[in-house]
Structure 1
């Protein structure tokens, strides 16, 4: 990558409404026009049916709330989501079961001797089966999605972009742009921020400081421990984990090929990427499902692995 410090930084204008949908008529999108048209047809049909028996003023008073609701559904947004989609998700959430159980078949009722009532005497409903999109993790580290194909996870490092010169920044942006232009299928980039606890590191340094060969080294180690404690007390340290997800329905070979192609392409912009194997894929998914939980233990064999006994010095197994 050519590094020229005298190059001006690359600049591009990004519109603020880059995610805005295309307007078809009167500044309204297809979804908005559909909602308003359906509401108008319903009001017109009701007027044609009630015209002989209902006064126009009374019908107008009754039609105003209906038109207002349709207008709010068409143009309203809640938390960045269209109001009609937000209401649809709210209805699905209210109707969905609250208790789910991981099972492959229907959930059977508990035996009669099991307490299945609340303190008020109400009978607890049976949990519904938990249906996850992932069927499992293959030996190659791919997430099996069943009929939806497979997904490969790639762990990517970050780049200190702000500390680079203008020429280096232009080279990084150009390399990343070449990878984006080479994509022929959707890719999901997930950036997770996790809190960093320095207590374990500080305690380990404090315990090993007396074993250092010189008192000056011990004093330096204890000074570093004080620095870590002060840093943890005054700032909230975060560690950012970048994960790329490649999904493909053409087979596991195509999925792995896309993942390894991303590893080679991102190396051009100084991003160290690694295709995750089966244990690391399971640990990444577990961390996403439980962000506040403790990190998974290191060195634990994956599910289904055959564990052999270790051999001691004299040949015995333990």
Structure 2
């Protein structure tokens, strides 16, 4: 009995915001209701105080913009967060020091001769210590985040989804959906495009070509090296690197178990996944902090070994 391959592609519904707060009354959350309630109580108190001194129309002229601003502050959103929290973060960013340097402790006052060119009384603000979320990397490759728990990194490959049949695509979608529904903590999937250099691979081929056992193999190696040089000159080659970061506050053992379950679940989706060790985790963090404008560090493609003919 033959299997049907013309079944329609399956779709797995995944909420876009799984941490969205519950709606209580009139489609508003407790946070929004608190803002509107406090604003209404303040306006009511103000009216009871000035009711005998200010005409009602004048009070309405002043109160309506205040109530409108409070309503806009409660229901408005910016960059995926509520507008009041966005404004609070903007104030914190404005007041926070913008010059940070790596330091183990507090930075002591600068000498009296440190001043700007604006005048002797205009001092340069001292930089603040740079405090990154990561406190260190354990022997198991976990990133220590202090009170925020630990994070494990899993490297994953990509899958040629468009080249599969509908049945195969449905199997991949179902397996990926099962992994997503099994998550019990914050998880982030980071996809980065990085440059791939083929020049050193072409140089390796040219260097090894004279030692090949047959002239035809040497000619093929030189032609392939020329092809790689031409490809690197005409196109900017990129390699997609996928990293899955999982954070847990239940202890390092739970984080390690969560990473192992992720590797097992993604392997069922034909994704080659593995947990990064300490050195690889440090390398990923270093590349994440790379000053490269948009592509990150360069990946060196390993050259093939022509020691035996079966490698060709």
| TM-score normalised by length of structure 2 | 0.80
Are the aligned partners of 1:117 and 1:123 in contact in 2 as well (CA < 8 Å)?
yes
Alpha-carbon shift at residue 262 of structure 1 (Å): 1.5
In structure 2, C-alpha distance between the alignment counterparts of 1:58 and 1:240, rounded to whole Å: 63
Which structure 2 residues correspond to residues 255-294 of structure 1 after superposition, within 5 A? 255-290=255-290, 292=292
Partner residue in 2 for 1:116: 114
Partner residue in 1 for 2:161: 161
Are the aligned partners of 1:103 and 1:129 in contact in 2 as well (CA < 8 Å)?
yes
Q: Secondary structure at the match of 1:108?
A: coil
Which structure 2 residues correspond to residues 1-318 of structure 1 after superposition, within 5 A? 5-12=5-12, 21-111=21-111, 116-121=114-119, 122-183=122-183, 185-197=184-196, 200-202=197-199, 204-205=201-202, 208-209=205-206, 212=209, 213=215, 214-215=218-219, 217-232=221-236, 237-290=237-290, 292=292, 295=297
Structure 2 residue ranges without an equivalent (≥5)? 210-214, 301-312
Q: 1:95 to 1:17 in 2, by over 3 A?
A: closer
1:91-130 per-position Cα deviation (integer Å, ceiling 9, x unaligned): 0101111122323322112345xx5212213211222222
Are the aligned partners of 1:260 and 1:275 in contact in 2 as well (CA < 8 Å)?
yes
In structure 2, C-alpha distance between the alignment counterparts of 1:4 and 1:291, rounded to whole Å: 51
In structure 1, C-alpha distance between the alignment counterparts of 2:298 and 2:238, rounded to whole Å: 18
Partner residue in 1 for 2:212: none
Q: Secondary structure at the match of 2:235?
A: helix
Aligned residues: 287
Q: Secondary structure at the match of 1:241?
A: strand
Partner residue in 2 for 1:313: none
1:2-31 per-position Cα deviation (integer Å, ceiling 9, x unaligned): x86344321356688887654332333333
157-166 or 284-293, larger mean C-alpha shift? 284-293
Alpha-carbon shift at residue 74 of structure 1 (Å): 1.8
Q: 1:84 to 1:155 in 2, by over 3 A?
A: same
In structure 1, C-alpha distance between the alignment counterparts of 2:13 and 2:135, rounded to whole Å: 43
Q: Secondary structure at the match of 1:39?
A: helix
Alpha-carbon shift at residue 275 of structure 1 (Å): 0.8
Q: Secondary structure at the match of 2:123?
A: coil
Are the aligned partners of 1:210 and 1:218 in contact in 2 as well (CA < 8 Å)?
no
Structure 1 residue ranges without an equivalent (≥5)? 299-318
Q: 1:258 to 1:79 in 2, by over 3 A?
A: closer
Alpha-carbon shift at residue 230 of structure 1 (Å): 2.1
Are the aligned partners of 1:78 and 1:86 in contact in 2 as well (CA < 8 Å)?
yes
In structure 2, C-alpha distance between the alignment counterparts of 1:177 and 1:5, rounded to whole Å: 21
| TM-score normalised by length of structure 1 | 0.79
Are the aligned partners of 2:185 and 2:248 in contact in 1 as well (CA < 8 Å)?
no
Are the aligned partners of 1:187 and 1:244 in contact in 2 as well (CA < 8 Å)?
no
Alpha-carbon shift at residue 57 of structure 1 (Å): 1.4
Alpha-carbon shift at residue 32 of structure 1 (Å): 2.4
186-195 or 200-209, larger mean C-alpha shift? 200-209
